[in-house]
Structure 1
Amino acid sequence: MTRRVRPWVLIGLAAVLLTGCGIRPTEVPTDFGAAPTRVGCALSGSDDMGAQAGGEFPVQVYLVCTSQLVTVDRTITLERGQSSDRVVVARELLGQLEAAPSGEEKTAGYTTDVRSGLEVSGPREGDPADALRLNAPPADMSPYALAQVICTFANSEVTAEDDEHVILGGPDAAPAREYTCTEALKARPGLIPAPTKTLD
């Protein structure tokens, strides 16, 4: 009479034989070397414009990375006394936004939607003292570019009164408006309209 061998017995024997000959089962391939590295989209650095002497100053600007706004550290050069000049600092920040990302930033996926030719000036008659005027109507700018400008200016202690709001206007006679850099705007600048309100 022939006795049937159950399948689980055969599986057990195969495992014993593999172990006995030094072969260990594995679920992953062998090492293919270190994983590629890249700069992450992360907040870093600080915006310290406290010194009044001329020289180089660390600043932060917002670039686009993975469809979000993320700060990157930059350095601007100012002459003596200019570090407290709202318009001068705003122009330097705008220049940083217009500049092409560095090689390292490009590798990490950073881009900028702010095109060259955008300029900023101080308030005109009737504007609040802390207003900034662009040579293009904010409403005509791309959502990403406008969000970059708003959040970069709002993040600077020189160009904004706090870390959320900035007053912007265009070249026309339309009154300047207050724009808010919110977490939602930074997370989805292409989908969330820049929060704005008219001034009293």
Structure 2
Amino acid sequence: MIFPRRRAGRGPVAVLAVLAGALVLAGCGIRPTQVPVDAGPAPSRVPCQVSAVDIAPQAGRAGVPVRVYLVCASQLMSVDRTAETTEEKAPADRVATAQALLDELQREPLSSEHEAGFSTYVRGPLLLNAGRRDDPTGTLRLSRQPEDLPPAALAQIVCTLLENGAATDGSVLLGGPGEYAPRAYTCPNATKERPDSAVPTTDTPRLAD
């Protein structure tokens, strides 16, 4: 008795046929449909740079070009400003120059600076006066104790004064309204990179004559 011959399994053949069809479709340029994924908006880029064409003289103000330090991307970066100050080096004018720089730090960033991501941590009113009789030469006294200011604000003040020659010997001698002795603050690169850290100090120089 002859039994009918069984056909070979069709399962593997069918799978291969499906795969072959998919390859043909891919070769024809037909791509399988993909489900769109919403990854959200692209991250905004903060340039931290003000174009020269955006640096316009402040309306109605006469002064000299200065460079002040603002905060951008968690770092201190300098911007160009026009401050109401003089280029004289007399002691009285030195205090006036330092106050003019402090006033610039207390101003809200210009529109071009704001758009570039700049901000200031220096909040007024803040005033600067000359040192007392027993203070070291070149001391400036703030209307608030420097140590009570936010670290970033103090870093802005110190680095701005140093940048514009309002201090000597590579440090800024700052005191407050109290009886505490002034301290000599410096502005190394580490302070510019991490303004939220404590502003470093160095040895206080000689007393005034």
**Is the TM-score greater than 0.5?**
yes
147, 172, 176: which one pairs with 2:182?
176
Correspondences of 1:131-142 after superposition (within 5 Å): 131-142=139-150
2:87 alignment partner in structure 1: 83
The answer to whether the Cα contact below 8 Å between 1:91 and 1:120 also exists between their aligned partners in 2 is: yes
Describe how 1:69-108 pairs up with structure 2 within 5 A: 69-78=76-85, 82-84=86-88, 85-108=93-116
1:128 Cα deviation from its structure 2 partner: 3.2
Specify the alignment match of 1:199 in structure 2.
204
Give identity over the alignment, percent.
40
Q: Is there any run of 5+ residues in structure 2 with no aligned partner, and where? A: 1-7, 53-61
The alignment of Structure 1 onto Structure 2 pairs a total of residues equal to 181
Distance in 1, matches of 2:122 and 2:146, equals 12
TM-score, normalised on structure 2?
Answer: 0.69
- Counterparts in 2 of 1:14 and 1:178: CA distance versus 1, 3 Å: same
Provide, for residues 135-164 of structure 1, a one-character-per-residue CA deviation record: whole Å limited to 9, x for no partner: 1111121212111111111221x20226x5
Q: Name which one, 1 or 2, has greater alpha-carbon Rg.
A: 2
Query: 2:171 and 2:133 mapped to 1: Cα distance?
Result: 21
- Distance in 2 between the 1:167 and 1:151 partners? 12
Root mean square deviation, CA, Å: 3.5
Note the residue ranges of structure 1 that are not aligned, 5 or more in a row.
30-34, 46-54
SS of match in other structure, 1:83: coil
Once the two structures are superposed, what CA deviation does each residue of 1:84-129 show, in whole Å capped at 9, x if it has no partner? 3321221111011100112232233322111111011223213333
Structure 1 136/24 Cα, relative in aligned 2: closer, same or farther at 3 Å? Answer: same
Aligned residue identity for 1:139: E
How much has 1:20 moved relative to structure 2?
2.6
User: Using the alignment, how far apart are the partners of 1:110 and 1:42 within structure 2?
Assistant: 9
Q: 2:192 aligns with which of 186, 194, 197?
A: 186
Q: In the alignment, which residue of structure 1 is the partner of 2:121? A: 113
- Structure 1 residues 56-103: Cα deviation after superposition (integer angstroms, max 9, x where no partner): 32211111223222222211133xxx2133212211110111001122
Decide whether aligned partners of structure 1 residues 43 and 150 sit closer, same or farther in structure 2, where only a CA change above 3 A counts. farther
